Structure 1
């Protein structure tokens, strides 16, 4: 029966991941319907904590975007990338990592990809190289970002004072080192652009050659008047989240009572509650100070993407949590000894699930509670946290597809065997190094 339920879980996730958008969420609900109606499993608690965190963080980011703050940050990043085109394979992913670490979302990288592709092509650097690692860097930046729903979810799951700080002080440096290793691994990937037969054939077209070599300059538009103010308020919100996560004594205590999503039994506010209050308050202050209209916020690309993220997390995590809760005893008996003796092996389970779910937050909420149930130490779970970024394995994630479409030279591609695509080397090296560094740093710092 367990194997049949597991097969259903995997089939539903595979079909949902191919549907894109909210497909993963609605297919998850269909799977839950079968679990409850056919297998008579007791539904687990829905992932309301992660859903509320996503809603709060993305709304704040969307408010900053509507105020022009995101555009201002992109203009700074563009200036950095264009400043040293010969080293674009290293500068672009580092810029992407820092920008997405700050913003708490990888989707900001869409604005950088055409710049990276253009700069690389003009210097006759194979665009596949910087584009692949730039996309991967935008993903792994979230596993440690104080404004990331995945980071907040892991802090809630670990549920000990200072968990958020531990995640950041291990996740940020380990993922950054992983990005550097990934950039180094792709620096000679593929043929040089001026030796690539596909590119040379395209260059025979005068229109294509002109488009590659023409000086386009900056593509940035004038920055809105309140953009810098919005970024400053967003910075203050990040600082407050970090301080509250690092020093729980700074957080006000409320009367003790029944434990819930937002307050523990002893009156201590949960990390999710802290993030939600601070970020949405920051959104309100940005709107008031910069005179940003609420209608403009809901029309931003970040806000519209939030609906898909929330529905996906709702369906697939609820279904997965129901399966795990119903079979926890069997899973613990089968994997408990191995997980405690060799905890690093659990990384492969996290990686596999992440490759199927296409969401860092959903993977975190699905797999990390299982890791806790198996008795894996918090320090080890933090070390393997970068494995939730395996959404590059199946080349269907929007950032990957965007990078392919922005590469006019055609070097960034999906291979004939699907898995032999441009992002596989950069992704595997980055995550392997990040996880290894996580275990190493955790040994000395936690």
Structure 2
């Protein structure tokens, strides 16, 4: 029965990933129905806390976008890129990393990718170099952001092990950032110089190369600036409350003193600051829920609802068999769990869904929580097949043709920086976890 159930699990994941959007979530519901009604597995509890945390965060991020805060951040990023065009291969990933770190979603990179493509071309730098690592950095930062869906999901799983948000950040921030900079160095040596690239020269001859357009000056408003300040304060407050448990209120419940959990704290803080942005920055309320950030977050909620619930039910129903079969193997070589995280993320296209699906198994296998944190960046594997939206967008924004998918599909512009950043982040994380925790 185990293998039949496992095949059903994989099939639902594969079909859901092909459907895209909320398809992953609804196919998770289909798989859950088959496991429960067909194989009589007992359903576990739906990941309600994780879903509510994501909704609270994306509501605040949506208010930021509707208030003009995202446009203001893009304006600041463009100034930084144009100030140091020759070093754009290193500055671009720093910019996208910070964008994702602050917003909690890699989709904010869409707004800055055209700027990176334009500035690199104007300065004579092969656009493939900054574009490829900028996309990778925008995803690696998700596993370092204190407000990303993936991070709050991991925190929820590890709370019982006395792991705080600060513990996750002090490993994942340096590991992912350093790994991205190593990948940026490798990217800076990739390919021929722009003026020697045959594809670019061909486009020049055919008149297909981009023409420089007149730049439209952006004038940031007070409301846009205020929304950024409020959002950053909210993110900082989440980090502080997650790092210092005594700052969270507590109550005596049936003689036992219990403090407010971090999921509840995150939900309260983010909803409160979303309200403050609405009150003081006066955005169009309809734009909050119609913006790209909110839509991406809402899609993630549906995906997690179905796919994570299905995965948790499967692993819980087969816990004894799984533990007896692979616990010794994973204990002897814990890095194999990182490989599993990477492989599943290629199918799921979601760091949060990957965490919710596999982390319960890692905990059931008694993998050291410090190692689980170190291996967390392995969930950034969906650059592997070049069909993720940010990957496709980067290819289309680079009109010089240097950022591309290779003849053999997998030899695309993002493969080498992606592998270096992911493997590097896990390796550095394992080293840091042995020192810090």
Scaled to the shorter chain, the TM-score interval is over 0.9
TM-score, normalised by the number of residues in structure 2:
0.96
1:262 alignment counterpart? none
Structure 1 counterpart of 2:313: 322
2:429 match: 438
Picking from 353, 359, 380, the partner of 2:350 is 359
C-alpha separation in 2, matches of 1:60 and 1:4: 42
Offset of residue 341 of structure 1:
2.6
Could you tell me which residue of structure 1 aligns to residue 67 of structure 2? 67
Contact in 2 for aligned 1:257/1:267 (Cα 8 Å): no
Among 344, 348, 364, the residue aligned to 2:335:
344
Q: CA deviation at 1:299?
A: 2.3
So what's the TM-score if we normalise by structure 1?
A: 0.94
Residues 1:299 and 2:285 are matched in the alignment: no
Preserved CA contact (<8 Å) 1:142 1:151: yes
CA deviation vs aligned residue, 1:174-213 (integer Å, no higher than 9, x gap): 000010111112222223222222211110134x34x34x
TM superposition shift of 1:223: 2.1
- Which residue in the other structure is 2:155 paired with? 155
How far has the Cα of 1:379 moved from its partner? 0.6
Name the CA shift for 1:162/1:228 in 2 (closer, same or farther; >3 Å): farther
Once residues 340 and 173 of structure 2 are traced to their aligned partners in structure 1, the CA distance between those partners, rounded to angstroms, is 22
Aligned match of 2:190: 189
Shift of 1:231: 1.1
In structure 2, the residue matched to 1:11 is: 11
When structure 1 is superposed on structure 2, of 9-18 and 165-174 the one drifting more is 9-18
| Alpha carbons of structure 1 residues 339 and 266: separation in structure 2 relative to 1, 3 Å | farther
Q: CA separation in 1, counterparts of 2:410 and 2:386?
A: 7
Aligned length: 436
On the 8 A contact 1:162/1:245 being kept in 2, the answer is no
CA distance in 2, matches of 1:240, 1:270: 14
Aligned counterpart, 2:48: 48
Once the two structures are TM-superposed, the CA of residue 92 in structure 1 deviates from its matched residue by: 0.2
- Say yes or no: does 1:282 pair with 2:273: yes
Listed one character per residue, the Cα deviations across residues 252-288 of structure 1 (whole Å, up to 9, x for unaligned) are: 0033259xxxxxx742222111111101101001111
Match of 2:416 in 1: 425
Q: 215, 218, 222: which is aligned to 1:221?
A: 218
2: distance between equivalents of 1:57 and 1:80?
27
CA distance in 1, matches of 2:217, 2:51: 33
Q: Distance in 1 between matches of 2:307 and 2:409?
A: 24
Aligned match of 2:232: 235
2:258 paired residue among 267, 274, 297: 267
Deviation by residue 1:18-38 (Cα, 9 ceiling, x = unmatched)? 211111111211222222232
My pick for the range that moved more, 142-151 or 290-299, is 290-299
Deviations 1:61-92 (A, max 9, x none): 01011111111111111111111111111110
Q: Does the CA contact (< 8 Å) of 1:69 and 1:228 recur in 2? A: yes
2 CA distance for matches of 1:293 and 1:112?
Answer: 23
Deviation at 1:215, TM superposition (A): 5.6
Q: Mark the CA change 1:257 to 1:64 in structure 2 (over 3 Å): closer, same or farther.
A: farther
1:161 deviates by 4.1
Aligned to 1:253: 250
1:26 aligns with 2:26: yes
Alpha-carbon deviations, 1:407-434, whole Å to 9, x = none?
1012222234332221111111001111
Superposed displacement of residue 242, structure 1? 0.9
Q: Secondary structure at the match of 2:46?
A: coil
2:398 match? 407
Distance in 2, Cα, partners of 1:72 & 1:251: 33
**Kept in 1: contact 2:50–2:156 (CA 8 A):** no
- Kindly report the root-mean-square deviation, in angstroms, between the aligned alpha carbons of the 2 structures: 1.7
Are the aligned partners of 1:96 and 1:109 in contact in 2 as well (CA < 8 Å)?
A: yes
Taking the aligned partners of 1:232 and 1:70, their CA distance within structure 2 comes to: 12
3-state SS of the aligned residue for 2:142? Answer: coil
Deviations 1:89-134 (A, max 9, x none): 1110011112211121111110110011111222232211111110
Cα distance in structure 2, aligned partners of 1:141 and 1:326: 33
Say whether the 8 Å CA contact 1:100–1:141 is kept in structure 2.
yes
Provide structure 1 residue ranges, at least 5 long, that are not aligned to the other structure.
259-264
Which residue is equivalent to 1:169? 170
Contact kept? 1:181, 1:429, Cα under 8 Å: yes
* Structure 2: distance between partners of 1:362 and 1:272: 17
Over 6 Å off, 4+ runs: none
